[in-house]
Structure 1
Amino acid sequence: MKYTRNILAVLFTSLTLASCASEQIADDGWTDLFNGKDLSGWKPVAGTATFEVVDGTIEGTAVAGSPNTFLITEEMYGDFILELDLKISHLSSNSGVMARGQFDPAAREGKGLVFGYQIEADPSERAWSGGVYDEARRGWLYPLDLNPAAKTAFKMGEFNHYRIEAIGNEIKTWVNGQPVAYVIDDLDKTGFIGLQVHSIQKAEDAGRKTSFKNVKIQTENFKSKAFNKDIFVVNNSLNALSKYELDNGWKLLFNGQNSEGWRSAKKETFPESGWSIKDGILTIESSDGRESANVGDIVTKEQYSAFDLAFEFRLTEGANSGVKYFVTLSEGNVGSAIGLEYQVLDDDKHPDAKMGKDGNRTMSSLYDLIKADKNARFIKPVGEWNKGRVVVTPDNKVTHYLNGVKVVEYERGSQAYRDLVAISKYAKWENFGEAKQGHILLQDHGDEVSFKNIKIKELK
């Protein structure tokens, strides 16, 4: 009887301790998603890679011939802060963490398909760990060319600490304490947490391990971490800026409602026809395909010297346009106003893509001067929106981006730059592109092209 009382006493003490521990977790605001012992609350989907618990760690093992495999939570989550540790053992083992992930069990002939926001774990030389990828849907939302300082955060062969904040329409990420990505997007409001074992290209890479541990989540009473003031935000809201962007000097160049801040390149007022604003979209109508022969270009009323300019553009088939900068309106030329040009073009259907030198008139190139170094997978097709960006720093370094990927880099006024101008169509203009400041211009080239989400930050 005494023995039984002792057992009961031990049991009562254990339950009390467990209760205290549970209360501590609740008081702290965190819930463990992985108990360190088994895969309770999780299930594998979409592939045949295996998951097992070894010494308090979830080990995912790559399997030859399998598509991407995910270990996903049975529970769905809306707003949350997620933290976990992730280790990749081999360069072949790209991985990631699904945040508000989605699953279609009927896709791929009943094998199932995972899609949605994925926070990347990229051990390759590209080093985009912590970037945001839209798995099996839109592709890259936040490549790390947008935040190159974060490329060194991830450590191969070591456990890396990930923090993911998905609150409202904002997703922010950290790797080993380094702020990485900031995306504003509202496509998925709820979903599961998922751990990825990526497909492999070579049979000899079967058996490679990806490990996860210390997976915990917070779903209320959030204490969001601050980001550095210079993190670029991919904001997919229509013509809107977040508080973070406003606080850090961004402003809209196009408010989505009217032509405020813009005028014709030919006169002081905005064109009465040709350019239209509807449903938050600014569009130049199609005419006869000639350069500035219809209503003409529009320019910002203000001028800029050093800046970060972001915009989205949508082409129609065979269309041509451009976004120009350092436009002075002083050349008195016929046709489009003169300035450095971020080319906006249907490379497949417009003949200009095959003109110039070595492709320097293709989409996102520095028109007639430097060809954009771009991969076809990062180009959205005609009819979809592409994201352009031009950054000019106070030391005259200029960078073009297409859909978050750096495609052109040069220095205004350098000898290399002047040598390119000397053999271009701009050679006849003295000191072309070297003005201290200038207008931003949207081009009328006689084709229908649309713009939205035009924003700028002046750099000092």
Structure 2
Amino acid sequence: MTKLFNFMIRKAYIFKVALLLVAISLTSCGSAQKDNTPWVSLQDGNTLNGWSIIGGNATYKVEDGTIIGTTVRNTPNTFLRSDKLYSDFILELDYKVDSSMNSGIQIRSNSFPFYREGRVHGYQVEIDPSKRAWSAGIYDESRRGWLNTLENKPEAQKAFKQNDWNHYRIEAIGDTIKTWINDVPAAYLIDDKTASGFIGLQVHSIKDHQKVGTEIAWKNLKILTENLEKYSKKSPLKPVITKNNLTIDEVKNGWKLLWNGETTKGWKGAKLDTFPEKGWKIENGELSVLSSGGAESAAGGDIVTEALFGDFEISVDFKLTKGANSGIKYYVDTNLNKGKGSSIGLEYQILDDAVHPDAKLGNHEGSRTVSSLYDLIKADENKPINQIGEWNTAFISSINNHVEHWLNGTKVLEYERGSDKFLKLVAESKYVKWPKFGLLEKGQILLQDHGDNVSFRNIKIRSIDNKNNK
């Protein structure tokens, strides 16, 4: 009896220990899975309240708390966009996509009437079920193309689950965007092109061979907009930095950096053999002309490229200070004016229109406002200009004598070099005294010192072989 009693006691003890271990295990699992993050849901579970359809005619509906988008024929990309705009946030969601579809999650995106007739543009976290497997890479919709792919990231590529639910985590804090797919780090981008915009769920347009009625589904959309540093996760990936670097598509399309972001290489004073010793500063990846009282080319002086350019496209980010004046000149011949003042060339005007008196002057009314062809052609009054202290992007295209000025992705004027209209404008201007003004086959690019503090960055150019453009 004693042996039997002792055996039963030991069995009871072992059973209690086992129960205790199971309880501890369940408790620890529950603690590990509990999420105390104060998420805010982006869905009400039953309707599309708080969202709007833009861009195309694909359809969206809600079933059992899941948003379902469906493809239709003969329509551009369609987006279900949040009515609310977001700047800094952490977003998580689940999605399931058909293996034949391409899609994406728009963040910090916008739609403006002046930008390509309202076309949606901005950062897109890619959904890519193809063999390329770049899901959770970062694409710039309707702007710069690919910014951060999943090339050489096999773990992230393998993390995508075909025809099953996938989970994204997207962090957009300041100039940094990080993504995860099914908890695997995927993209890490540093870029400050756009600070705020809507969130969008894309149903991509389909080609003739693709099936109408194909679906993509999203659920568990939740966002965090406060105390982000507390909840942000570190990424082991090396960041892709776009500032003063070429994007993937720019490299592919033949663009070159005209300024490397660090040195004066490739540039010199317009009336010097070297770069000016004063009046200009390079700091934090910005090339700045310093304030010297507003006089034209009286301090450090204008700077020009050492190289000459014929047909070209150039993109330059610029940032104004209050009341500032400067310009980007092209087809410049520094031998035309050896005296006082700026070197001679066609000029994309840079100006604080609201404060600087030049905005109301000029040989033609308004032709000295920002993005105008200085003193000759006024830019569109509806041009999109950002506030003083914010970056703007100037774009100039000159191909086969057809010239266009763009500002922040919107065309603001165009003209034909050498046309009767152009020659008449020159004949009526102060440029009439310069022989063949604006008609050089090749010339330098110039950044103007007009005595005001203006900064430049992301200076990029693409030379065009005009044989391919006739």
Bin of the TM-score, shorter chain as denominator length: 0.5 to 0.7
Which residue is equivalent to 1:220?
A: none
Which secondary structure does the structure 1 equivalent of 2:389 belong to? coil
Any conservation in 2 of the 1:254–1:453 contact (CA below 8 Å)?
Answer: yes
Any residues of structure 2 matched to 1:58-457 within 5 Å, and which? 58-59=60-61, 85=71, 96-97=79-80, 116-118=107-109, 127-129=117-119, 131-133=120-122, 170-171=138-139, 173=141, 182=145, 184=147, 187-190=176-179, 194-195=200-201, 214-215=215-216, 237-332=242-337, 333-356=339-362, 357-375=364-382, 378-393=384-399, 395-457=400-462
Distance 1:285 1:449 in 2: 7
Q: Can you give the 5+ residue segments of structure 1 that lack an aligned partner in the other structure?
A: 1-40, 61-70, 75-82, 107-113, 136-162, 175-179, 197-210, 218-234
Distance 1:362 1:250 in 2: 28
Distance 1:364 1:384, change over 3 A: same
Any conservation in 1 of the 2:48–2:61 contact (CA below 8 Å)?
Answer: no
Larger radius of gyration between Structure 1 and Structure 2: 2
Cα drift, residue 444 of structure 1: 0.3
Q: Which amino acid aligns with 1:387?
A: T
Which secondary structure does the structure 2 equivalent of 1:290 belong to? coil
Which residue is equivalent to 2:169?
A: none
**Per-residue Cα deviation, 1:149-169 (whole angstroms, up to 9, x for no partner):** xxxxxxxxxxxxxx9x97666
Which secondary structure does the structure 1 equivalent of 2:431 belong to? coil
Cα drift, residue 360 of structure 1: 0.4
Any conservation in 1 of the 2:330–2:445 contact (CA below 8 Å)?
Answer: yes
Distance 1:105 1:441 in 2: 37
Cα drift, residue 95 of structure 1: 6.5
Distance 1:296 1:431 in 2: 24
Distance 2:88 2:454 in 1: 39
Distance 1:259 1:313 in 2: 17
Q: Which amino acid aligns with 1:170?
A: I
Cα drift, residue 47 of structure 1: 4.4
Q: Which amino acid aligns with 2:215?
A: N
Q: Which amino acid aligns with 1:424?
A: S
Distance 2:407 2:426 in 1: 23
**Per-residue Cα deviation, 1:254-281 (whole angstroms, up to 9, x for no partner):** 1011000000001110011111101110
Which secondary structure does the structure 2 equivalent of 1:339 belong to? strand
Distance 1:306 1:435 in 2: 11
Distance 2:441 2:388 in 1: 35
Any conservation in 1 of the 2:397–2:403 contact (CA below 8 Å)?
Answer: yes
Any residues of structure 2 matched to 1:21-32 within 5 Å, and which? none
Cα drift, residue 242 of structure 1: 2.6
Any conservation in 1 of the 2:107–2:200 contact (CA below 8 Å)?
Answer: no
Any conservation in 1 of the 2:336–2:344 contact (CA below 8 Å)?
Answer: yes
Any conservation in 1 of the 2:294–2:452 contact (CA below 8 Å)?
Answer: yes
Distance 2:115 2:342 in 1: 41
Report the aligned-residue RMSD: 4.4
Cα drift, residue 72 of structure 1: 8.4
Percentage of matched positions with identical amino acids: 42
**Per-residue Cα deviation, 1:152-190 (whole angstroms, up to 9, x for no partner):** xxxxxxxxxxx9x9766631558xxxxx86263864434
**Per-residue Cα deviation, 1:227-268 (whole angstroms, up to 9, x for no partner):** xxxxxxxx9821001343223211101101100000000111
Distance 2:45 2:135 in 1: 25
Distance 1:172 1:447, change over 3 A: closer
Aligned length, in residue pairs: 321
Q: Can you give the 5+ residue segments of structure 2 that lack an aligned partner in the other structure?
A: 1-42, 90-104, 125-129, 149-174, 182-198, 203-211, 219-239, 466-470
Q: Which amino acid aligns with 1:215?
A: I
Q: Which amino acid aligns with 1:58?
A: Y
